Each structure stands twice: as C-alpha cells, then as structure tokens.
C-alpha cells in the first residue's frame, strides 16, 4: 500500500499541469483509502 504513494508522487512530477489534477485526484483517493 505504501509503495503506491511514491509512484504517484513520481508520476505527479512527470505530468504537465493538466495531469496534475488527475494525479491529485488519485492522491485524494489514496488518502481516503479507496486505493489499496
């Protein structure tokens, strides 16, 4: 479960501004426990 967070953070760094919102949505889902 904890290994997903660094992956999302890395993807977040690589994505343009348009992808940031998508990545932020994934992070929100992760924090809510919807992922993992």
Determine the longest span between alpha carbons in the chain, in angstroms. Answer: 26
Question: What pLDDT shows up at residue 8?
Answer: 66
CB 1 within 8 A of CB 36: yes
Q: Are 21 and 15 within 8 A, CB to CB?
A: no
Number of H-type helices and E-type strands within the chain: 2, 0
CA-to-CA distance for 33 and 18, rounded, in angstroms?
Answer: 24
pLDDT at residue number 3: 74
Q: What pLDDT does 9 receive?
A: 66
Measured distance CA(17)–CA(35) in Å, rounded: 23
Can you give the pTM of this predicted structure?
0.28
Per-residue pLDDT, 12: 60
pLDDT in tens, 1-36: 567 676 666 666 655 555 555 667 777 777 777 655
């Amino acid at each position: 479960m904890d290994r997903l967070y660094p992956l999302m953070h890395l993807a977040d760094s690589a994505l343009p501004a348009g992808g940031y919102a998508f990545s932020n949505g994934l992070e929100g889902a992760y924090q809510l426990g919807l992922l993992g």
